């Protein structure tokens, strides 16, 4: 999935929008029902007690909708990227002074699958320990090769572009790969590593 | 004679702008990330909570060039009120955008591969898209509807008041 200027419209965009619309519809219908029930009460009960009770009900409903949204998201992931073919690639950073990340390009079996521009906020989040899922897809079983290119500003403020690659065996079960950028103080250079999660 | 008149009418219809582009109003604005002339990367979704004005332009488009000063005024007047203007330049070379972007204080993003232009179904320049604080496209102006930046001032102010 390419991000740089191609927009975030993966194949599951339509499905996710459908699920969101369904969740919103359920929320709207139940909210209207609750309001109708509240209005059926006597005028005396419509004062503070009724209002507080309705707020609690709405909050509980919101939580249920959020839980539903989360469950739908997990279901969507399981349907679109079943564990037996799923491959996911993550980016993490542990750098201080040797590298300012600008973008990461990922190729699997010599085909570009991701090209992500990192903003200042996103880079900051990576510095703080965040991990970014840059790519998710399905691959058949067998040997594959992943190559990642990191572009940014290296030591002494110079433009920097480095690659790292690894061959991996895709078997039964999901495969997770991590692209790690870290300082190598001994060489005063950043280090780029691709590794598999066990 | 009738055929010639018919041809003229067809050409006239094709040359007129339309008020609504393919980035239809009421839909979530397609997200994207582009690099600006100053080297910083900008992602549209990070401006959620602000009113965003996207303006697609090119150095060879006279109407586009004449609007830039108006957009700069909008930026100065409404930036504090929550307006973010993102100029999206589609020229082939950076220097064409740099020559005209001097004095502009809002980001000029470079859509060199025209991926974002395709995402927003750019057909005529200039194309201006107004996005509300929830990331929803509310107004689209292209062609003759976008001749002057004042054409969408009223809509812009309404979004800022929301």
Q: Read off the pLDDT of residues B47-97 as tens digits, 9 standing for 90 and up.
A: 999 999 999 999 999 989 988 999 999 999 999 999 999 999 999 999 999
**Rounded CA gap, B99 and B108, in Å?**
12
User: A117 and B35: CB-CB below 8 Å?
Assistant: yes
A39-48, A79-88, A173-182, A187-196: the lowest-pLDDT one = A39-48
Grade residue A150 by pLDDT with cuts at 50, 70 and 90. Answer: very high
B105's enclosing H/E stretch is none
pLDDT tier at A191, thresholds 50, 70, 90 = confident
Structure tokens at A95: 């750098």
Does the pLDDT at position B148 exceed 80?
Answer: no
The torsion angles phi and psi of A80, rounded to 5 degrees, stand at -80, -35
Q: In terms of CATH architecture, what is B18-161?
A: 3-Layer(aba) Sandwich (3.40)
Percent of chain B with pLDDT over 70: 82
pLDDT at A27 (0 to 100): 67
Mean of pLDDT over chain A: 80
Chain B residue with minimal CA distance to A123? Answer: B41
Confidence (pLDDT) at B8: 46
Question: Quick check: ipTM above 0.90?
Answer: no
For chain B, which residues lie within 8 Å of any Cβ of chain A, measuring from their own Cβ? 30-35, 40-43, 45-46, 111-113, 115-116, 119
| Beta-carbon pairs below 8 A across chains A and B | 48
* pLDDT recorded at residue B85: 97
**With an 8 Å Cβ cutoff, is A158 touching chain B?**
no
pLDDT at position A103 over 70: yes
Q: Which of B22, B32, B111 to mutate to test the interface with A (most CBs of A within 10 A)?
A: B32
Distances (CA, A) of A46 to A18, A38, A40, A51, B28: 36, 7, 9, 7, 38
pLDDT for the residue numbered A41: 53
Write down the pLDDT at residue A46. Answer: 58
Contacts of B43 in chain A (CB under 8 A): 117, 119, 122
Instruction: Express each pLDDT in A63-93 by its tens digit.
Output: 999 999 998 888 887 777 776 778 999 999 8
Residue A182 pLDDT = 85
Which range is least confidently modeled, A3-17, A28-42, B105-119? Answer: A3-17
For chain B, the domains span 18-161
Q: Which residues contact B50 (CB under 8 A, 6 or more apart)?
A: B82, B83, B84, B133
Residue-wise pLDDT tens digits, A32-49: 666 655 555 556 655 666
Among the partner-chain residues A5, A117, A122, the one whose CB lies closest to the CB of B111 is A5
What pLDDT was estimated at residue B145?
65
- Compute the average pLDDT of residues B123-139: 95
Name which residue leads in pLDDT, B142 or A35: B142
Q: Which of A2, A5, A118 would you mutate first to test chain B, the one with the most B CBs within 10 A?
A: A5
Q: pLDDT category, B20, cuts 50, 70, 90? A: very low
Residue range A86-196 in CATH 2.60.40: yes
| A39–chain B Cβ distance below 8 A for any pair | no
Instruction: Identify any residues that bridge with B139 across adjacent strands, giving them in sequence order.
Output: B130
Instruction: Summarize the confidence of residues A180-185 as an average pLDDT.
Output: 80
Q: Pick the more confident residue, B3 or A18.
A: A18
Q: What are phi and psi of B129, to 5 degrees?
A: -125, 130
In which residue are the tokens 């586009």 written?
B64
């Amino acid at each position: 999935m390419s991000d740089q200027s191609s927009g975030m419209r993966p194949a599951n965009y339509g499905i996710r929008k459908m699920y969101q619309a369904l969740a919103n519809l359920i929320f709207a219908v139940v909210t209207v029902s609750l309001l109708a029930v509240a209005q059926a009460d006597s005028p005396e009960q419509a004062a503070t007690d009724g209002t507080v009770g309705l707020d609690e009900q709405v909050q509980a409903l919101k939580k249920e909708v959020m839980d539903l949204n989360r469950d739908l998201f997990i279901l969507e992931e399981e349907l679109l990227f079943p564990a037996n073919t799923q491959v996911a690639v993550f980016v993490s950073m542990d750098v201080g002074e040797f590298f300012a990340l600008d973008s990461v390009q990922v190729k699997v079996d010599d085909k570009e699958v991701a090209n992500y521009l990192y903003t200042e906020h996103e880079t900051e989040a990576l510095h703080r320990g965040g991990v970014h899922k840059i790519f998710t897809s399905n691959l058949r079983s067998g040997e594959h090769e992943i190559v990642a290119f990191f572009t940014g500003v290296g030591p002494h403020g110079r433009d920097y572009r480095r690659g790292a690659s690894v061959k991996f065996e895709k078997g039964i079960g999901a495969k997770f790969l991590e692209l790690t950028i870290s300082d190598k103080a001994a060489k005063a250079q950043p280090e780029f590593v691709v590794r598999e999660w066990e | 004679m009738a055929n010639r008149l018919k041809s003229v009418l067809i050409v006239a219809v094709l040359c007129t702008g339309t008020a609504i582009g393919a980035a239809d109003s009421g839909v979530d604005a397609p997200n994207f990330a582009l690099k600006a002339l100053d080297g910083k990367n900008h992602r549209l979704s990070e401006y959620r909570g602000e009113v965003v004005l996207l303006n697609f332009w090119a150095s060879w488009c006279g109407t586009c060039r004449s609007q830039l000063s108006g957009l700069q005024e909008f930026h100065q007047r409404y930036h504090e009120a929550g307006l973010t203007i993102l100029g999206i330049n589609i020229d082939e070379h950076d220097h064409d955008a740099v020559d005209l972007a001097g004095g502009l204080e809002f980001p000029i993003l470079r859509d060199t591969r025209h991926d974002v232009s395709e995402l927003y179904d750019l057909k005529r320049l200039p194309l201006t898209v107004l996005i509300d604080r929830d990331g929803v496209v509310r107004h689209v102006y292209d062609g003759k509807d976008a001749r002057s930046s004042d054409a969408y001032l009223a809509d812009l102010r309404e979004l800022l008041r929301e």
